[in-house]
Structure 1
Amino acid sequence: MSNRQRFITMAVALTLVVGAGVIGYATFLMTPQVRAAGSFGAAFTLTDDRGQPITEKALSGHPSLVYFGYTHCPDVCPTTLYDMAGWFKTLGPQADRLKAYFFSVDPERDTPAIMHSYTGNFTDRITGITGDPGEMRKAIKGWRIYAKKVPSPDGGYTMDHTASVLLVDAGGNLSGTIAYQENDDVALQKIRNLLQQN
């Protein structure tokens, strides 16, 4: 084999290797990155804001917005639920398949009736979820939510907690998040992306 033939053979082989690498990298970039099935979520048996049993199966079969907070929250929770109501209004029929869930990190005070009244102040599209504190801890831990009781000077307490809205796909897997008070256009695009995936 001549030097020229060796050079051509090596050039072709190198082109194939580089081409395969480019295709592999492009595929990696186009694949949603928060997709590890089973890495988020947990089995639970809780109660919705109408007093009916609800389990983790409620988060499957449709895309969902999931938020963990509490009704005594002074600002972050009402602001977030107000934002969620606005997203539903803006999306209109696009969001017909989208569900929203508000899990209480303070189930000792947040009864189903209180949750129903609270979410109803914003929209009828958000389902409140409360119930046994032990079961709620399973959900909190499974979704890797930070939640901590903080005593207040008056003898009561507040709750420190994660402020992001979780974007959950139809398979019940975490697909992304919306940060607290994220730009509306960005938040809406994230939700549209979620809806297109499902």
Structure 2
Amino acid sequence: MAFSARTAAAAAVALAVAGLGATWYFSQSAADDAFAQCRRGVAPAAGQIGGAFTLVNQDGKTVTDADVITKPSLVYFGYTYCPDVCPLDNARNAEAVTLLDERGYDVQPVFISVDTDRDTPETMREFAAMLHPKMIGLTGSPEQISAASKAYRTYFKVQDPGDPYTLIDHSTQSYLVFPKLGFVEFFNRDTTAEEMTESVACFVDAWKAQQ
């Protein structure tokens, strides 16, 4: 996807309308936040990002968030036909997962497609397998994808519906999600694999300390 200034502006407007941006976060004392030592700023508003979803995995099986988020996960929304942003972001997430594996942290990358017309389970399986053996690829019906996107407060818009070569504008954050607990942090595109590794490791350590 060519993430142009126009696209970025449109996404910013959509996020603002959805009540995102700065409102994702609110001030919270360190004593109330088990992940305070891991955060770059203030804590996320509980329950505002993430939640239940029902999608179709790369094997064609209908799954829920409980089936997918069985370990710390990095969740990303995009599409396989994306010419630049999605492959780079997913590759970065996959590299971070490999670095975490080397340090003894079991984290899985999850790729949710917003392209219901072209991204079949088979397509998602091939794409995920190229990037990392642990990557889970998810697709679904327009209604299922829309519900998952709304749950994570993401933005996407098909530029030319019906065009088999259409591009899709979409937000590009990656979300760190834990089983049962849910969303705890997000990472922007400019976060490196090494930076993500350090941050995720801190969150996983803090999460395990609560078990």
Interval of TM-score (by shorter of Structure 1 and Structure 2): 0.7 to 0.9
- What's 2:137 paired with? 128
Q: Helix, strand or coil for the counterpart of 1:157?
A: coil
Alignment size in residue pairs? 173
- What's 1:165 paired with? 174
Report the alpha carbon displacement of residue 30 of structure 1 after superposing the two structures with TM. 6.4
| 1:187 corresponds to 2:196 | yes
Q: Deviations over 1:125-176 (max 9, x none)?
A: 1100001110110000010001111129x87411111111111123242111
Q: Helix, strand or coil for the counterpart of 1:121?
A: helix
- What's 1:90 paired with? 99
RMSD over aligned CA atoms reads: 2.4
Report the alpha carbon displacement of residue 27 of structure 1 after superposing the two structures with TM. 2.2
- What is the TM-score of this pair, normalised by structure 2? 0.73
- What's 1:27 paired with? 31
1:149 to 154, 158, 170: 158
- What's 1:46 paired with? 55
Give runs of aligned pairs for residues 48-63 of structure 1, distance below 5 A. Answer: 48-63=57-72
- What is the TM-score of this pair, normalised by structure 1? 0.77
Q: Which one has a bigger Cα radius of gyration?
A: 1
- In structure 2, give the amino acid aligned to 1:73: C
Q: Distance in 2 between matches of 1:118 and 1:171?
A: 27
Q: Distance in 2 between matches of 1:25 and 1:103?
A: 33
Mapped contact 2:176–2:183 kept (Cα < 8 A): yes
Taking only the aligned residue pairs, the percentage that are identical comes to 29
Q: Deviations over 1:48-86 (max 9, x none)?
A: 011111112135442111000000001111111211221
Q: Helix, strand or coil for the counterpart of 2:131?
A: coil
Mapped contact 1:164–1:180 kept (Cα < 8 A): yes
Unaligned runs of 5+ in 2: 1-27, 37-42
- In structure 2, give the amino acid aligned to 1:78: P
